[in-house]
Amino acid sequence: MAIESRLPLAGKSAVVTGAGRGIGRSIALALAEAGADVAVTARTHSEIEQLAEQIQGMGKRSLFMPCDVTKPEQVEQMAKTFLAGLGGIDILVNNAGNAGSHKLLNHPDELWHRMLAINLTSVYYVSKAFLPPLIEQKWGRIITIASIASRVGGRYIAAYTAAKHGVLGLTRAMATELNPYNITVNAICPGYVDTPMTDASVSNIIARTAMPEVKARAALEQTSPQNRLMEPAEIAATVVFLALETSKGITGQAINIDGGGIMS
């Protein structure tokens, strides 16, 4: 118990969406290491089941439930299940998302709607579902994993960029509205991160350009002045920092993690 009491998030409960792999998985484990109980959701049952077992092996409570966060009825059921199982929530991490690209010329409407649904509307659904207990207890942390595409435009990613810009607007609106309840709302804006989603981007570059894999990956690395992909642990550590009581003065912010590419 003496060791547990020194953990900065001991006694807190967290929910992480898109937790099956990559950034979301790293975030869930970092929150548990900091002392929080963590419920995890994603679409792939086996991945979040294994993750929940790993968190339980760390001595923390963990729940898992598959959920498509673009479906409001599934989100409502997930929220009810996690709130009942955890006995409440303190930290919500909106991490679920996906990327897709196409030239604006002849851009598929389906891609537009899909990018907005998974990257923006899902944040609205999930945040809204967990707001009542946060407001009632007058304390909370809502942290959304956005993107550097929330800050700048980019070629061939009109839908993704629009969705991620929307996430930043939603973050700032929620931060303003929830300030009286001691709920902070922030966004983290990573550049390219070494995850399966970036692997898919590399594969897409190869398919469209016939570029060798090494060069395709290097092209993404060079989008950062540090000439590297960011690491999931860097994003996870920032989530833990924002979740601390001592970070209560930080709200409505977009924190870049891109090796200095965007300095504003």
Mark whether 100 and 214 lie in a shared domain: no
Residue for token pair 């061939």? 156
Mark whether 102 and 214 lie in a shared domain: no
Mark whether 129 and 204 lie in a shared domain: no
Task: Encode the chain (264 residues) as per-residue pLDDT tens digits.
Answer: 334 458 999 999 999 999 999 999 999 999 999 999 999 999 999 999 999 999 999 999 999 999 999 999 999 999 999 999 999 999 999 999 999 889 999 999 999 999 999 999 999 999 999 999 999 999 999 999 999 999 999 888 999 999 999 999 999 999 999 999 999 999 999 988 887 777 777 777 777 778 888 877 877 778 888 888 889 999 999 999 999 999 999 999 999 999 999 887
**E strand intervals along 107-253:** 140-145, 183-190
Mark whether 22 and 123 lie in a shared domain: yes
DSSP for 34-92 reads: TT-EEEEEES-HHHHHHHHHHHHHTT--EEEEE--TT-HHHHHHHHHHHHHHHTS-SEE
Domain that residue 224 falls in? 193-229
- CA–CA separation, 175 and 248 (whole Å): 12
| CATH number for the domain harbouring residue 249 | 3.40.50.720
Mark whether 122 and 222 lie in a shared domain: no
The answer to whether residue 86 is domain-embedded is: yes
The answer to whether residue 262 is domain-embedded is: no
Q: How deeply is 242 buried, as exposed, middle or buried, from its count of CB atoms within 10 A (0-12, 13-18, 19+)?
A: buried
The answer to whether residue 108 is domain-embedded is: yes
Look at the pTM and tell me if it is higher than 0.75: yes
Q: How deeply is 39 buried, as exposed, middle or buried, from its count of CB atoms within 10 A (0-12, 13-18, 19+)?
A: buried
The answer to whether residue 264 is domain-embedded is: no
Contacts of 15 (CB under 8 A, 6+ apart): 38, 39, 40, 41, 82, 86, 89, 91, 92, 93, 130
Q: Is 160 a catalytic residue?
A: yes
Mark whether 101 and 206 lie in a shared domain: no
Letter string b/e over residues 148-166, b meaning 16 or more CB atoms within 10 A of that residue's CB = bbbbeeeeebbbbbbbbbb
The answer to whether residue 203 is domain-embedded is: yes
Between 72-86 and 122-137, two packed helices, what is the crossing angle to 10 degrees?
Answer: 30
User: Which one of 124, 160, 181, 192 is the catalytic residue?
Assistant: 160
Minimal CA–CA distance to 239: which of 54, 31, 90, 86? Answer: 31
Contacts of 147 (CB under 8 A, 6+ apart): 97, 160, 164, 167, 189, 190
The answer to whether residue 123 is domain-embedded is: yes
Cβ contact 234:226 at 8 Å: no
Mark whether 136 and 225 lie in a shared domain: no
Mark whether 30 and 9 lie in a shared domain: yes
